[in-house]
Structure 1
Amino acid sequence: MRNFASILLILTGISLSLYGQDSHALFIKNDGQWSSDFNYRLRLNSGDVFFEDNGYTISLHNADDFHHHHDEPGPKSKQEELLKRHVVKVKFLYANPFPQIQGAAKRSFYHNYLLGNDPSQWRASVPVYQQLNYLDLYPGVNVRFRGKGGNLKYDFHLAPHADPRLLQMQYQGADMLSINKGHLLIQTSLGTLQEFIPEAYQVIKGQKINIPCSYTLVNHIVKFKLGPYNPEHELIIDPELVFSSFSGSSIDNWGFTATFDHEGNLYAGGITFGLGYPTSPGAYQEIYKGGDVDMSISKFSALGDTLLYSTYVGGTDNDVPHSLVVDDDNQLFILGNTGSSNYPVSGQALQANFNGGPPLALRFMRFNHGSDIVVTKLSADGTKVMASTFLGGTENDGLNTGIFQNYGDNCRGEIIYADNKVYLISNTRSNHIPLPNALNDSIQGDQDALVVCLQNDLSSIVWGTYFGGLGDDAGYSIKPDQGNKVVIGGATRSNDIDISPQAHTPNAQGSIDGYLAVFNRLNGNLTASTYVGTSDQDQAFLIDIDKFNNLYVLGQTEGQMTMSAGIYGTPNSRQFIKKFDMNLATEIWSTTIGSGQAKDDLVPTAFLVDECFNIYLSGWNGQSNVLTNGGPPQGNTLNLPLTSDALQSSTDGSDFYFMVLERDAKSLAYATYFGGTSNEHVDGGTSRFDPHGTIYQAVCAGCSLESFPVTPGVVSETNNSNNCNLGAIKLDFEATVRAKPEIDFMNDTDTICDTLFVQLSNKSINAQVFEWDFGNGLTSSEEEPTTFYDNFGTYTIRLIATDTICDIADTNFIEVVHDTGIFLESGFTSEYIGCDSEFRALFTNTSTGSQAYQWDFGDGDFSQETEPEHLFQDTGLYIVSLTAINVKCNKSETFVDTLVFQDTSSIPDPLVEVSLCGDGSVDIALDNDRRRYRYSWDFGNGVTEEKRYPSYRYQEPGVYTVSVDINDTV
């Protein structure tokens, strides 16, 4: 097995802190997604700035009021739940009440706001900008806002002769304003804002000329005092507002879930915090109600260098994504939970109304009106809700509050797509949710797992069931097999769940056991089930199925799991992997993995068994689990096994960990840590491996300004929030067969005449047999063959790479465009004067790709010179052709042009006189004669003659009329 080939690491910056998606401030246009009366919004590290017609409003808050919800265990006192806020309004006095406000430096991506259950209020493709301009705020005065170094930068641009005395800014809501050493200090209950000493300057003849400038302050009204300047030129006044004295960011974006599509794009789901538009200036407190969290869904390109969209989904209360999956059309399904009665649902929704439940408090948020499961389907561009529904009863649904051993276990569950249907597993405390074909149509204990198969449009349930017993039961994972079955896994405190007679373990073993159950996915009939566990606590977190329909489960144990002979493992470890047959009657093998120190090493987040039976897993542990969940103090990632080619061989004990076991767990193929100095974790949800073994992992990263490793050139290389950002990891382990044809067009192609010769490179991995189809009628089984193309055109090369050990194959394509032959071209230009009496022409040869030439001048003469000079015989039109010949390739091309020599003299003037000899003969003279003229004379007595100068003598005296017919033969 080779090392991984590529790694993609992104700090998404979806928190929309000052630097939002990347290293630039983002001014978000209010297209109606926010009902309040402002035009643009800028989310800052310590609050928000709302831009109105006549000024802007700065809404600040104490970031620590948010941080403790994420970092500290245990219940909070009433006093601790107060959020401290302070609002400062800046009004431009006596300004244009309706200036033109325009975003500038538009970003390539967009935001979608699918908020609330009124589709008319949803907004898609909302533009975001790096700059905001107020035009004609005062006569001849524009204002430009932008971000700089984490601060709000703005400057006034005054046209020639504009009056700077018009600029007046009134500050409302500040505790005190003062000027200290030239700086404007704006004191609030949360800290002091500082505006740097303003800079004023003019640019005259390319030179920057600084102008003395200072603040003046009277009754909370700020003006600018300027020194002498040239009123004939533009004047710029350039202050800077600094927020750096504030402690942190509430605009966190926590990482929950990730998935992929068929093009290798990465979808990351999390929650984004943000407070609403303030209604009055000054300091105040409000009780944190937990209604400031929406789902944030971001789609990144396969290389991570482009943000394709960000979509915000939710209502007026908290909304959390647990699991993501795409269908065949790259439409994204979201499984989550909501406390919002106005969560967006579609017209054909299975359940259009929010049922909610009793108030519910988790360690990091509250659901004041209870919680329902939600399932939402987004369009491929993230701009539309294609389908969406609530799912739940009158108690709380979608949250695991009965069994949670790890931080994030509250938000476990999974959604999958198969057979054009949607399958999900989640958790419920509600009784009598309508479930057709149910094994159990009512809840068995306080909390049960809920298994549901939905139609693609989320309009109805095909089948569904409660699964559980008299104790608490939790549903974590669901997978389809190669046939018509679907398997679920989870944890249970019940000793009476539905267990099949042939079960490997028919009875509960400890206080908490894992379980596995197999259903017919056509009708929901239970076909097999078993407990999984020891006499201690055990949970079955993630499951997968191989191509022969064997079932694998990854979980945690506090007991002593069996270890099969010949299988890789580490004794005395607290993570287990088991392999069962689909009847759950036979345990094929079992092992434990980890540090061997009887401590919780990993909280599982993703799991895969590929077509070659390699086993992949992802997990994390550390201080976020210990402190936030009150977990065992020894829970960490220390001392886990690594391979020599590990991407990261050290850990601070709070990192992610990736492992690959080779072919049916025979050996350790690859293992590495991944993380920085922060406590990397997820706040819930699932991530995924694609079928090739590439991990798409969501991470809550960079918290408290600690580090998180990223790769160059991605959407955001920095955490621009002062707390957490959703990090996204795409890591290719290259453990399965991968067809990868390549062509080095600079070095591996050659063109001879019109034939393109191509040397193929083969970068495939884990393959032994190759089948090439070059698209030109030729094929090859060589590893790196050569082919050729005689005719111009576009050709598709197909490579099928086969792993004969695993009997699996992969296919890939590469395109060749042949348009670079010799391009033989014939051509010439001619230089001549049409009225030249010598009829001389000079020819310049413009042919390319040729070595020999044949000229035909159209007058019966020929030449093989490269650039001949030719004398034509007379006036007239001549068709000249040049045939250019490529001797090497025996190829020729002909070019034709026309030359015209014209006679500019008068027509011939014949003169006929009687000869002085007196014998009846006549004398004939011709003026303007030309050789090409032919003459036909008629002497008026019936005698004609066709000569230029005929000799004629009249026999009889008389008067005769002589005529001549002149024919220009050219």
Structure 2
Amino acid sequence: MRNCLRNIRPIVLLLPLASGIALKGPHSRENFPGRTDAPISISRADAAASIKALEKADHAVQVRVMESYARLPLSFEANRGQMDSDVKFFSRGNGYCIFMTPTEAVLTLGGGSSPQPKGPKLRESILALDPSVVAARPRRTAVLRVKLAGANPKPQLTGEDELPGKVNYFIGNDPRKWRTNIGTYAKVRYREVHPGIDLVHYGNQRQLEYDFVVAPGADPKAIRLGFEGAEKMEIDARGDLLLHTPEGDVRQHKPLIYQESDGTRTEVSGGYSLSRRNQVSFEVGKYDRGRPLIIDPTLSYSTYLGGSGSDVGNAIAVDSARNAYVTGATGSTDFPIASPFQAAIGGSSDAFVTKLNATGSALVYSTYLGGSSGDYGLGIAVDSAGNAYVVGDTDSTNFPTANPFQAAIGGSSDAFVTKLNATGSGLVYSTYLGGSGGDYGLGIAADSAGNAYVVGDTNSTNFPTASPFQAAIGGSYDAFVTKLNAPGSALVYSTYLGGNINDVAAGIAVDSAGNAYVTGYTASTNFPTASPFQAAIGGASDAFVTKLNATGLVLLYSTYLGGSSDDVAAGIAVDSAGNAYVAGSAGSTNFPTTSSFQAASGGGVNDAFVTKLNATGSALAYSTYLGGSSYDSAYGIAVDSAGNAYVTGTTLSTNFPTASPIQATHGGGENDAFVTKLNATGSALVYSTYLGGNSYDSAQGIAVDSAGNAYVAGDTESTNFLTASPFQAATGGGSQDAFVTKISITPVPAITGLNPSRRISGGRAFTLTVVGRDFVSGATVRWNGSARPTIFVTASRLWAAISAADIASPGAASVTVFNPPPEGGTSTRVPFTINGN
């Protein structure tokens, strides 16, 4: 387990200081148990016993406990005489403590504990608690003192957002020394540490954060941080600040700074600066000082996943609890594992299956899956019970099988289909699927009854078939579509799908009626068609889209999709109305488009494309290119309940279309991954972003949850791939790592009140307090549609500077709040009354 301080995120609201601090060292912890904010009168010995019991629990129990605990708000306890009087607020947990005095915040980073003799001590190097209160102290402790140089020595410290729990200390038999009904708070604010600048501490049980709230007109250059207790400070090649302590390294990621106005974001250059006096300040490039600087709050997590070899993430799925399931291939003998079905690599490369918790900060399980040769996970699905369905291909004669339909490999390479139980510790079933030639599983879907639908390609003339639409292979390679029953013991149907040359099925989706939607590419001039939108092949190869009925015997429709050159489809999704969404790569300059965001090719070798076919397959609801002036290809697609399409892939283009991006520019390497959300009509980008660093980056899989959060899996060779709240903050040391990224949306805000709600005309400027819900950092208060300087206080409170000119004349003004993209938007209008004199 890694220390809770791994994900400390310093942020400057209106002057953002981005991302995470990672603690690495011999005593690091992944998560940490501690106390809740319910009323307590528990002894430290009882708490220590609970911690030890938890550490002995199996991994699945630990994960459930830690996930529940991590969702609790971090609590700051007011000092009411239970510790040194210099401390005004404090928070603590296993592995860390933070003490807040008027002039500094003191963090202790420690490992195990050992008893200390009782007796009063006024001070230790970490502002010691009274030993009668805390009888256990860190055996080896690093102390990091965070001071603001040149700051107000007497700022006002106040607790904000009081929590429901109270803390009680009943120690000894003298009631005068008892401390009861002590308040706990979600935030602590230092007011006016510099003129116009507040400092706010907050977080949750896994993440500690602090914000500098910089009012319009205040000077961010006044902020200078000193870190006493760091043996060495440096800024690395990525722009991250590294603080070396005896207990490990604390990493503070490079700031991401930008300004937003009317939905348009402009990045501002900036970063950390180290002075000769070992102080840290912030360099900020040129920006509009009449507008606030803001932080992008939308990257929920992004993490490396890999070891010292080569690791590739190929597919991703998400369950109703927002856990992410990833599969791919690894050559690493030290790939991260947890509660594995298979603890060690079996051959030159193995498939892997990894389940990440909803915050991306911990492995629920992670396992190798393979035999003594090469094995590759290429597709994944998950059912409502949390069982994972994996497809890929294997060269191993001893690939793990359980309750198989086919117990032995049939040729040089076979597809495999594996169903893992919800804990990842066992196989529900696992089977080969193939004939005497080469067979490759590329895509998988599961229905509500637990049937698995698998697609891929085969050159076996004896590929297993059952109730087939097409009983025999048609060319050199054919696509195949196979439906396995829920126990994995029999084929419901299995069919070839192809013509006289080569055909590959790369993606599959299934609707509530059990109809299968298949896509891929074909070079065959006689590929099976039915009620087609496009009846004939257009170039050397075309994409195809085929809908099979629930028995697999009938094509409900089947169509080519392409222009005069090479066009390939890689991913497919289906909505509740039976519309199919297809993504891939178009080499044709005359690829079919309609109602499109981008009607023409971007001018490069290939563009990505996104196509929506109606439920009968007879017409395009929309079809669009998506690309720039170089090479662009889409590999995965998902769709939400509103019909928005989420697309991912790879791009070499420095002018790939972006909108409200997390990363606005190409990372500088050969390829970057991209993630794009198209609106329901395909006519506009909701957001579109690069995702990559200084080397090769590509995304292969994408999934979306019920809230519209996008989950992306791929692989990266970059050492500076964008990470946030990561399970694994750095590359594993091999040639490439898998990555998993979650992009979350910003909600539409709502206003519930204004204070004041009226003013007399001709009065002076004032600060308007806007109360509501779903405010995010970067939210802007608008007065009659025009932005006003805004300070984010909490998710339910904003401050806005209203000028004398705004209330110069009697009448009414309208107040709205705008949340920045992705998504976000503008609240409904609330009137503000301006009375006459």
TM (norm. structure 2) is 0.51
- Tell me what 2:501 maps to: 471
Taking a change above 3 Å as real, the CA distance of residues 386 and 484 of structure 1, as seen in their structure-2 partners, is: closer
Report if the CA contact (8 A) 1:491-1:514 is conserved.
yes
Report if the CA contact (8 A) 2:433-2:464 is conserved.
no
Among 719, 722, 725, the residue aligned to 1:709: 722
1:513 partnered with 2:542:
yes
- Tell me what 1:575 maps to: 608
- Tell me what 2:327 maps to: 269
Question: What SS does the aligned partner of 1:398 have?
Answer: strand
Once residues 618 and 273 of structure 1 are traced to their aligned partners in structure 2, the CA distance between those partners, rounded to angstroms, is: 24
1:681 partnered with 2:708:
no
- The alpha carbon displacement at 1:23 in A equals 4.8
Which of the pair has more CA radius of gyration?
1
- Tell me what 1:503 maps to: 532
- The alpha carbon displacement at 1:723 in A equals 2.9
Report if the CA contact (8 A) 2:673-2:691 is conserved.
yes
Once residues 296 and 22 of structure 1 are traced to their aligned partners in structure 2, the CA distance between those partners, rounded to angstroms, is: 27
Among 586, 590, 606, the residue aligned to 1:561: 590
- Tell me what 2:350 maps to: 294
Among 258, 283, 287, the residue aligned to 2:316: 258
1:385 partnered with 2:427:
yes
- Tell me what 1:607 maps to: 637
Once residues 673 and 263 of structure 1 are traced to their aligned partners in structure 2, the CA distance between those partners, rounded to angstroms, is: 27
Report if the CA contact (8 A) 2:455-2:482 is conserved.
yes
- Tell me what 1:483 maps to: 513
Once residues 306 and 373 of structure 1 are traced to their aligned partners in structure 2, the CA distance between those partners, rounded to angstroms, is: 30
Taking a change above 3 Å as real, the CA distance of residues 110 and 23 of structure 1, as seen in their structure-2 partners, is: farther
1:320 partnered with 2:351:
no
- Tell me what 1:136 maps to: none
Once residues 578 and 404 of structure 2 are traced to their aligned partners in structure 1, the CA distance between those partners, rounded to angstroms, is: 34
One-letter amino acid of the counterpart of residue 504, structure 1: F
Question: What whole-Å deviation, never above 9, does each CA across 1:2-23 have from its counterpart, x for those lacking one?
Answer: xxxxx999xxxxxxxxxxx995
Q: How does 1:448-463 map to 2 (within 5 A)?
A: 448-463=478-493
Report if the CA contact (8 A) 1:530-1:584 is conserved.
yes
Once residues 535 and 555 of structure 1 are traced to their aligned partners in structure 2, the CA distance between those partners, rounded to angstroms, is: 16
1:661 partnered with 2:703:
no
Question: What whole-Å deviation, never above 9, does each CA across 1:93-142 have from its counterpart, x for those lacking one?
Answer: xxxxxxxxxxxx9898589xxxxxxxxxxxxxxxxxxx9xxxxxxxxxxx
- Tell me what 1:719 maps to: 731
Among 640, 643, 657, the residue aligned to 1:641: 657
Taking a change above 3 Å as real, the CA distance of residues 24 and 435 of structure 1, as seen in their structure-2 partners, is: farther
- The alpha carbon displacement at 1:290 in A equals 10
Once residues 414 and 763 of structure 1 are traced to their aligned partners in structure 2, the CA distance between those partners, rounded to angstroms, is: 37
Taking a change above 3 Å as real, the CA distance of residues 564 and 295 of structure 1, as seen in their structure-2 partners, is: closer
Question: What whole-Å deviation, never above 9, does each CA across 1:919-941 have from its counterpart, x for those lacking one?
Answer: xxxxxxxxxxxxxxxxxxxxxxx
1:530 partnered with 2:559:
yes
- Tell me what 2:160 maps to: none
RMSD: 3.7
Question: What whole-Å deviation, never above 9, does each CA across 1:131-178 have from its counterpart, x for those lacking one?
Answer: 9xxxxxxxxxxxxxxxxxxxxxxxxxxxxxxxxxxxxxxxxxxxxxxx
- The alpha carbon displacement at 1:617 in A equals 0.8
Report if the CA contact (8 A) 2:585-2:632 is conserved.
no
Once residues 387 and 761 of structure 1 are traced to their aligned partners in structure 2, the CA distance between those partners, rounded to angstroms, is: 51
Report if the CA contact (8 A) 2:384-2:448 is conserved.
no
- Tell me what 1:397 maps to: 439
Question: How many residue pairs are counted as aligned between the two chains?
Answer: 459
Q: Give every structure 1 segment of 4 or more consecutive aligned residues whose post-TM-superposition deviation is greater than 6 Å.
A: 105-108, 737-742
Taking a change above 3 Å as real, the CA distance of residues 328 and 641 of structure 1, as seen in their structure-2 partners, is: same
Question: What whole-Å deviation, never above 9, does each CA across 1:877-907 have from its counterpart, x for those lacking one?
Answer: xxxxxxxxxxxxxxxxxxxxxxxxxxxxxxx
- Tell me what 1:856 maps to: none
Once residues 587 and 720 of structure 1 are traced to their aligned partners in structure 2, the CA distance between those partners, rounded to angstroms, is: 44
One-letter amino acid of the counterpart of residue 665, structure 2: S
One-letter amino acid of the counterpart of residue 355, structure 1: G
- Tell me what 2:467 maps to: 437
One-letter amino acid of the counterpart of residue 667, structure 2: T
Question: What SS does the aligned partner of 1:413 have?
Answer: strand
- The alpha carbon displacement at 1:417 in A equals 3.5
Report if the CA contact (8 A) 1:337-1:374 is conserved.
yes
Among 667, 670, 675, the residue aligned to 1:651: 667
Question: What SS does the aligned partner of 1:251 have?
Answer: coil
Once residues 519 and 740 of structure 1 are traced to their aligned partners in structure 2, the CA distance between those partners, rounded to angstroms, is: 45
One-letter amino acid of the counterpart of residue 723, structure 2: V
Taking a change above 3 Å as real, the CA distance of residues 582 and 454 of structure 1, as seen in their structure-2 partners, is: same
Report if the CA contact (8 A) 1:489-1:515 is conserved.
yes
Question: What whole-Å deviation, never above 9, does each CA across 1:214-268 have from its counterpart, x for those lacking one?
Answer: xxxxxxxxxxxxxxxxxxxxxxxxxxxxxxxxxx985333322222111111122
Once residues 703 and 448 of structure 2 are traced to their aligned partners in structure 1, the CA distance between those partners, rounded to angstroms, is: 16
Once residues 660 and 371 of structure 2 are traced to their aligned partners in structure 1, the CA distance between those partners, rounded to angstroms, is: 49
Once residues 485 and 772 of structure 2 are traced to their aligned partners in structure 1, the CA distance between those partners, rounded to angstroms, is: 46
Report if the CA contact (8 A) 1:695-1:732 is conserved.
yes
- Tell me what 2:740 maps to: 728
Report if the CA contact (8 A) 1:464-1:524 is conserved.
no
- Tell me what 1:42 maps to: none
One-letter amino acid of the counterpart of residue 420, structure 1: G
Structure 1: tracts of 5 or more residues without a match: 1-6, 10-20, 27-104, 112-130, 132-247, 277-288, 357-369, 400-411, 622-635, 743-759, 766-783, 785-970
One-letter amino acid of the counterpart of residue 774, structure 2: K
Taking a change above 3 Å as real, the CA distance of residues 252 and 562 of structure 1, as seen in their structure-2 partners, is: closer
Once residues 638 and 322 of structure 2 are traced to their aligned partners in structure 1, the CA distance between those partners, rounded to angstroms, is: 17
- The alpha carbon displacement at 1:420 in A equals 2.6
Once residues 107 and 526 of structure 1 are traced to their aligned partners in structure 2, the CA distance between those partners, rounded to angstroms, is: 52
- The alpha carbon displacement at 1:439 in A equals 1.0
Once residues 731 and 583 of structure 1 are traced to their aligned partners in structure 2, the CA distance between those partners, rounded to angstroms, is: 32
Report if the CA contact (8 A) 1:294-1:312 is conserved.
yes
Report if the CA contact (8 A) 1:512-1:536 is conserved.
yes
- Tell me what 1:354 maps to: 409
Report if the CA contact (8 A) 1:563-1:592 is conserved.
no
Taking a change above 3 Å as real, the CA distance of residues 351 and 671 of structure 1, as seen in their structure-2 partners, is: same
Question: What whole-Å deviation, never above 9, does each CA across 1:821-880 have from its counterpart, x for those lacking one?
Answer: xxxxxxxxxxxxxxxxxxxxxxxxxxxxxxxxxxxxxxxxxxxxxxxxxxxxxxxxxxxx
- Tell me what 1:163 maps to: none
- Tell me what 1:747 maps to: none
Report if the CA contact (8 A) 2:447-2:514 is conserved.
no
Question: What SS does the aligned partner of 1:641 have?
Answer: coil
- The alpha carbon displacement at 1:437 in A equals 1.3
Q: How does 1:494-893 map to 2 (within 5 A)?
A: 494-500=524-530, 502-561=531-590, 566-573=595-602, 574-595=607-628, 597=629, 599-602=630-633, 604-621=634-651, 636-644=652-660, 646-652=662-668, 653-681=670-698, 686-702=701-717, 706-712=719-725, 714-733=726-745, 762-763=773-774
Once residues 554 and 688 of structure 1 are traced to their aligned partners in structure 2, the CA distance between those partners, rounded to angstroms, is: 14
Taking a change above 3 Å as real, the CA distance of residues 664 and 419 of structure 1, as seen in their structure-2 partners, is: farther
Report if the CA contact (8 A) 1:8-1:731 is conserved.
no
- The alpha carbon displacement at 1:313 in A equals 1.3
One-letter amino acid of the counterpart of residue 377, structure 1: K
Report if the CA contact (8 A) 1:322-1:413 is conserved.
yes
Once residues 511 and 377 of structure 1 are traced to their aligned partners in structure 2, the CA distance between those partners, rounded to angstroms, is: 37
Taking a change above 3 Å as real, the CA distance of residues 414 and 687 of structure 1, as seen in their structure-2 partners, is: farther
- The alpha carbon displacement at 1:499 in A equals 1.0
Question: What SS does the aligned partner of 1:264 have?
Answer: coil
Once residues 547 and 463 of structure 2 are traced to their aligned partners in structure 1, the CA distance between those partners, rounded to angstroms, is: 21
TM (norm. structure 1) is 0.44
Question: What whole-Å deviation, never above 9, does each CA across 1:449-502 have from its counterpart, x for those lacking one?
Answer: 1101111111001011100011010001111234342211110010111111x3
Once residues 8 and 256 of structure 1 are traced to their aligned partners in structure 2, the CA distance between those partners, rounded to angstroms, is: 30
- The alpha carbon displacement at 1:761 in A equals 6.5
Report if the CA contact (8 A) 1:580-1:586 is conserved.
yes
